[in-house]
Structure 1
Amino acid sequence: MLREFKRPQKLMGNAFEITVVSDDENSANQHIDAAINEIRRIEKLLTTFSEESQTNLINRNAGIKPVKVDWEIFDLIERCLRISRITDGYFDISYGGIDKSFWNFDCEMKELPNPELIKDHLKLVNYQNIILNREKQTVLLKEKGMRIGFGGIGKGYAAEMAKQMLQNRGVTSGIVNASGDLTTWGNQADGRPWTVGIADPDNAKQPFSYMNITNMAIATSGNYEKFVVINGKKYSHTINPKTGIPVSGVKSVTIFCPNAEIADAMATPVSIMGNDVALHMINQINHLECIIIDDQDKIYSSQNINLK
């Protein structure tokens, strides 16, 4: 008889949960082990904290020389640059230069960082200064001090790769949930589609809507989990790469797309761009949908979304 086997696991600094549908506990556990190992492998590849990682090597050689990388990293960066172009630079993996230096959402911040300081660092944020050479398989960051980071796409990429691995192993149904960015395929053990709740930004434990999905990924970016309040104004942990200032005005963005990597990558720019621009962009792209909730609890959704 088919059953659902679930396992929570801390990976990439986030709470992951992997679910597979199987009639055999033993093989289900082996599949889940394989998926976890795949996510660990990706974490090693993408982390900026380890001296060993290629990402770290690229950053250390910024403004110095091109770095030869695995095709996997090369292709991922190439896809990131494509998303940067589509989103007019609101998605930018070179945001590493401003990320943690000013904004720390884990501690008490009492005032905004010095705008001059931010301006200085912003000069280093520009995806157009990430130079790829396909013939030589190299990546060069043009300016000294530039840094790339995969925080905006890494979880979605890992979820997508784990899903592919599970499918290759013959798992016909499952979910890889990367701390709220999740990808689904097939159906539940009872044959019905997976049901996912869209989190209510004012009460993360309580979904405001449910959707039945299969072969679909969902990513949410919201200010309800990490934020600071300075002079009575709430700033989310999502930083606008063009201003260096965190976003305010949008409570949450949920993206629907068949691919978890793209869903993850689009959630951030949509929360920064402003609703009209964002919805216009989403409506131009096939198989991409979104729901935006603003600070006044007004709900905006792209053309093909039918909320229950």
Structure 2
Amino acid sequence: MNFLYTFISLLTASFLFQVSVADARQDSERHRFQSNHMGSVFTIVIYDGDVAAAKSAADAAFAMIEDLNQIMSDYLPESELNRFSASASSGEWSSLSEPLFDILQQSVQISESTGGLFDVTAGPLTRAWRMARMMPEPQLPDSLELAGLLQQIGYRNLLLNEKDKVGQLAAEGMRLDLGGIAKGYAAEMAMHLLREKGFPVSFVDAGGDITLGDPPPGRNGWEVAVPLSKRNPELGYIMIQTSNRTVTTSGDMFQYITVNGVRYSHIINPHTGLGSTAQQQATVVSRSGTWADAYASALTLMEPEEAMELIDTLPDTEAILFRNNGDELLEWRSAGMSLFILGE
């Protein structure tokens, strides 16, 4: 059988992905929609014979994503997240919407499992690094400034009461940043909505957090290409095949700053307040879009062996990690990751 392969190039905040889709049916049955949310281009692909129904479902998914953005953005002054951050050290409990409580609760759980290397209370640090990256000649925060920022961070000061769905920020100056988890959460929720509307053969690309539904017609799964190195394009890419999972890659391939000859990742280590210098790239494949997004970032801050040990404790979650070591690219895999890599 001859298949038509269509490659959708997705330039993300971190990586260039390609989703390879083999279409065994007519082109008109594959529908692609795009909309801007959360600072990224969201792409929804739906396989169905009714383009009007597919568009209606995609529009509903985009509307839900924007609703989540209004809740979770740290850029929008009046977002629910920023209003909650403004209550820091007030001693007051704030009522939280179901989505915000859910993502904060999952964030704390991920913080605990990573020893705090994933921490949504790192907002003061990420804001400082955003400013540094915009400078013509970026500079690191001085030691006094860095010490002050670190005092404002700590997921243990994010207090949540599940019974009443309320939260409290216990330390002065705390500021939340969901940039490492919100898009994965949004893509997962959007895929749930598409399923509820009768479109399981779909995928949602949240600017690189790719949540996949049932396989496209005539295929065993969706294929996601992950480049191995920007510095050495000849290394090529790995092709991951899967369905009903999220694939997320994180690292410093595209976003970093160089200060005094040292390359610092945009992913900040909450323990040190500095961007990682390890030049690691992690790809996570998980049933949970929220987990895939958050753990992909955290793994880039961990020693590779420790990272794989952690992933092997998580249900329905696998990972592959690469580290640039001069001209050599080192690789580590979780126990079940090879099952998702084509050509092996």
Give the aligned partner of residue 7 of structure 2.
none
* In the alignment, structure 1 residue 239 sits paired with structure 2 residue 268: yes
What is aligned with 1:273? 302
Give CA-to-partner distance per residue, 1:47-88, whole Å, 9 cap, x none: 123343221111111000221111221122111111111111
Match among 116, 121, 138 for residue 166 of structure 2: 138
Structure 2 CA distance for aligned equivalents of residues 204 and 40 of structure 1: 37
The Cα of 1:205 is off from its aligned counterpart by 8.4
- The AA in structure 2 aligned to 1:222 is G
- Give the Cα separation in 1 of the matches to 2:296 and 2:137: 25
Matched, 1:171 2:199: yes
- Structure 2 match to 1:73: 100
Q: State the distance in 2 between where 1:29 and 1:219 align.
A: 25
Runs of 4+ more than 4 Å apart? 203-207
Q: Select which of 8, 12, 20 maps to 2:46.
A: 20
Query: What amino acid is the match of 2:65?
Result: I
Q: Distance in 1 between matches of 2:260 and 2:87?
A: 40
1:8 aligns with 2:34: yes
Partner of 2:252: 223
Residue in structure 1 matched with residue 336 of structure 2 by the alignment: 304
Distance of 1:284 and 1:248 partners within structure 2: 26
**What is the identity, as a one-letter code, of the residue corresponding to 2:209?**
D
1:212, distance to aligned residue in structure 2 (A)? 1.4
Structure 1 residue matching 2:312: 3-state secondary structure = helix
* Alignment partners' CA distance in 2, 1:154 and 1:205: 30
Contact 2:88 2:174 in 1 (8 A): yes
**Alpha-carbon displacement from aligned partner over 1:92-138 (angstroms, at most 9, x marks no partner):** 11001211124533443343221221111101110000111234321
Deviation at 1:280, TM superposition (A): 1.1
Does the residue aligned with 2:277 lie in a helix, a strand or coil?
coil
Greater Cα offset, 185-194 or 53-62: 185-194
Which letter maps to 2:110?
I
Range that drifts further, 100-109 or 215-224? 100-109
Q: Flag structure 2 segments of 5+ consecutive residues without an equivalent.
A: 1-24
Tell me the C-alpha RMSD between the 2 structures.
1.8
Per the normalisation by structure 1, the TM-score is: 0.94
> Counterpart amino acid of 1:19?
V
Identity %: 26
Quickly say closer, same or farther: Cα 1:159–1:293, change in 2 above 3 A: same
Match of 2:10 in 1: none
With over 3 angstroms needed to count, the CA separation of the structure-2 counterparts of 1:108 and 1:301, relative to structure 1, is farther
Kept in 1, the 8 Å contact 2:68–2:99? The answer is no
Encode CA deviations 1:184-239: one digit per residue, 9 max, x unaligned: 01111344421111122326988511121111111111201111112222111000
- Name the CA shift for 1:295/1:215 in 2 (closer, same or farther; >3 Å): same
> What are structure 1's unaligned runs of at least 5 residues?
none
- Which position in structure 1 is the counterpart of 2:18? none
Residues 305, 332 of structure 2: 8 Å contact kept: no
| Greater alpha carbon shift after TM alignment, 213-222 vs 69-78 | 69-78
Q: Aligned partners of 2:147, 2:287: CA distance in 1, in Å?
A: 37
Q: CA distance change for structure 1 residues 178 and 5 in 2, over 3 Å: closer, same or farther?
A: same
Structure 2 length as normaliser, TM-score? 0.85
The aligned length equals 308
Once residues 138 and 183 of structure 2 are traced to their aligned partners in structure 1, the CA distance between those partners, rounded to angstroms, is 30
Deviates further, 152-161 or 5-14: 5-14
Rounded Cα–Cα distance in structure 1 between residues aligned with 2:311 and 2:94: 34
Q: Which amino acid aligns with 2:93?
A: P
The answer to which of 51-60 and 13-22 deviates more is: 51-60
